[in-house]
Amino acid sequence: MNRLALARELNGLVPMPGVETSVSGVAAVCDPLGALYLPDTGALVVSDLHLEKGAAFARRGMMLPPYDTLATLTVLSAVITRYDPKIVVSLGDNFHDRVGSEHLPDIFRTLIADMARGREWIWINGNHDPDGTVDLPGICADEIHYAGLTFRHEPKGGLQQGEIAGHLHPAATVRRREKSIRRPCFATDGARLLMPAFGVMSGGLDLGHKAMKGLFDHASLVAHLLGRDRIYSVRFGNLRG
């Protein structure tokens, strides 16, 4: 699946079949491009953009293709155009390292400013970028409580009610026609929801990984996998172990 190609094809204008769910009674829509929309409040949530990841690796002498920031912002622009949210919440690891936003090229600052114009923008601080952003629209916070939900980067241990978090980059594997398919996913048991990584160069951590232990009621846990142009919802018990 190439989310960048899909975003360019649709240009944010063509309706896509998202999946309706709820988190602690709050209605939400899981979008195939990896964003969560809360229709009652007009909030759009993304997580783990990891902007300037290629630049961060280059500063360490490891050369990666330098197109990740443009690609990720192109996908983000597509979902913002589609939903026209009142509020955008980015759940941490917005940049891949502490200096990413400080060294962000002006062309990308302009893209973000254009997306933020006329709406609130909240940057949640992550473990990769704990100091917040530099010279970008919006406000920075370690976590926020809004509309009966808590938005933070790292999920708290144990079962949590009303939490939307990122950090762990959830992914799931299903078997289809004797072939295993692994995809990023939204993971929710109705009480909390973990977001997939939105950054185009970000990997994923399987829902069965030990880092996920104790975070969900497995009897109620559903993985909403990102497909080519739709969401595939699979109960935890039906995932490939």
What digits encode the pLDDT tens for the residues 163-182? Answer: 999 999 999 998 777 788 89
* Confidence at residue 186, expressed as pLDDT on a 0 to 100 scale: 98
Pick the CATH number of 3-238 from 3.30.2000, 2.60.40, 3.10.450, 3.60.21: 3.60.21
- Whether this prediction's pTM lies above 0.75 is answered by yes
Q: Would you list the domain boundaries of the chain?
A: 3-238
The mean pLDDT of 137-163, rounded to a whole number, is 96
Backbone φ/ψ region at 155: left (φ over 0), alpha (ψ -120 to 50), beta = beta
Q: Which amino acid makes up residue 192?
A: R
How far is residue 51's CA from residue 33's CA, in Å, rounded to a whole number? 16
Residue 101 has pLDDT above 60, yes or no: yes
Q: Where residue 13 falls among pLDDT bands split at 50, 70, 90?
A: very low
